[in-house]
Amino acid sequence: MGNESLSSCADRSAIGQRSSRQARHVFWVIFAIGFLNYLDRNSLTGAANVVAHELGLGIDSIGYIASAFLIVYTICLIPIGFWADHSKRKNIVALSVAVWSIATALTAFSFNFLSLFLSRMILGIGEAGYFPAGTALLSDYFSREKRSRIMSWWNIGQLIGVLFGFVIGGTVAGLYVGSWRLAFIFTSIPGLAFAFLAWRLREPRRNEADEEQQTFQPAIAEEKEQNTSHPIAPVTGNIFSQFRDLLKIKTLVVLTIMQMFAFFALSVAVIFLPTFLQQKDLYDLGSGAAGIFSGSVIVVAGSIGTIGGGYLADLLNRRNLGARVQVCGIGFLISAPTFALALLVHNFTLFALLVSMTAVLTSFYTGPSAAATQDVVPSALRASAVAVTLLIAHALGDTFSPTLVGLLARLFDPTGGTHFAASRAGHDLALAMLITCTPALIIAGLVGIIGARWMKADVEAAMTTDYLERQAVLPS
């Protein structure tokens, strides 16, 4: 009997080590793809000021082009997200990476507003498939207890991608007329290699990590048996039925509304920051310097906030299951005054300090919100949950915010557009961001703090559903 027990323990240890190695491999592949995702997306942001002037575009055109990507990205989230819950997530990730890499290369051949607009639309199609499928894939490799930390570290790759996108786009664009095109050709190449690596990953079974955690900690399974929470409806083939069932989960609605207002502000800040810094009536940085500064702030301060928020949420989550949502809300609420002050000061040192503080605070949400979205839904609906929350949050949040801020900046220019043509639109842009983004951050913070109360019950309901689904398929 003792030998059998030792053998069982050894088998479990071997399985655990093998699963851990596979999970680390998958994480680093998805991490690298996340890096490329944001590199490709933000290369144009870093070069936007130069591209706009070379193609004869106004400041509002920067907003239109950003919205072109976001609108198509948002529209494609639902069908691809639901597809991911009925198919192999790894294949969807691989296909998405290939599509957006090709779209990035096409950007290099843009010659007017329309061609640039269309290439960014195609980019949105590719990137829409990656995030829901990638999030669900990671969630089936890493259990609930460390999910915030894993999602936070994953987001570090995306932040580094923003840095490289800004630096490469801004620096290459400043070399000579038309040099910005080279940035898009070279940044598109690595994506095709990682598309192949993603296709070669092992597809985990649904809820694999949490089930393995229960194997090593039987008490968790016993707790589920005693759980009386009402289970969530299982996955069906009807997209509209699944959509309706997901929106019955209160925490998912809270996360969606919170991210809707947060995305409004964050998208504007990222898209316009390099352009803002290059305006001569404020800081008059060169294209390369603006890209390096913007990317450095986002990756350094953003990494501190992302990792700090993830670890803080996992720590507090042991005692309070609503902590992941609360941490998001607190970060957004405190960031509102620091963001407003950054726009009002005209001293670069103070501006850099306040922008860095804002980046730390707004980055608290990245890991905890992704983990919370996965925690409150059954494992069979994880990609769909990401798709639904992102669809609504982007559709009502940042699909139109760059366009709105760009139009307001042009409206606040008493000369009708010559401020930007002369690179003197800094004050116009600051006012446009101040009156739109600051209230959005305040609302996002309040929604997160107040709405955290429902998470405990929603997590229990999701765990009950997974337990019942597992029992239904086990042999009697």
d(CA 215, CA 134): 25
d(CA 175, CA 54): 13
Mean pLDDT on 309-318: 84
| pLDDT level of residue 336 (50, 70, 90 thresholds) | very high
d(CA 309, CA 111): 42
Q: Name the more confident of 198 and 474.
A: 198
Residue 181 has pLDDT above 50, yes or no: yes
Q: Which helix (H) or strand (E) holds 229?
A: none
SS3 104: helix
216-249 residue pLDDT tens: 444 444 444 444 455 555 555 566 777 788 888 9
> Is 129:384 a contact under the CB 8 Å cutoff?
no
**Within 13 Å, how many C-alpha atoms sit on residue 374's CB side?**
31
Residue 349 has pLDDT above 90, yes or no: yes
Distances (CA, A) of 273 to 63, 220, 266, 289: 12, 47, 10, 12
Backbone angles phi, psi at 72, to 5 degrees: -65, -40
Most confident of 21-25, 77-81, 335-339: 335-339
SS3 298: helix
> Is 421:303 a contact under the CB 8 Å cutoff?
no
Residues with Cβ within 8 Å of 108's Cβ and at least 6 positions away in sequence, in order, are 181, 182, 183, 184, 185, 188
pLDDT at position 265 is 95
Tell whether domain 21-204+232-473 is in CATH 1.20.1250.20: yes
| pLDDT level of residue 283 (50, 70, 90 thresholds) | very high
Question: 């070669």: which residue's tokens?
Answer: 200
Task: State the pTM of this model.
Answer: 0.73
Q: Between the CA atoms of 203, 206, 207 and 209, what dihedral angle is there, to the nearest 10 degrees?
A: -10
d(CA 156, CA 131): 14
Question: 């005209």: which residue's tokens?
Answer: 346
Q: Which of 389, 387, 382, 386 is nearest to 465 (CA)?
A: 382
Mean pLDDT on 461-470: 78
Mean pLDDT on 128-154: 80
> Is 93:7 a contact under the CB 8 Å cutoff?
no
Distances (CA, A) of 242 to 135, 225, 372: 18, 25, 19
Tokens for 125, please give them: 């199609």
Give me the amino acid identity at 361: L
Residue 66 has pLDDT above 90, yes or no: no
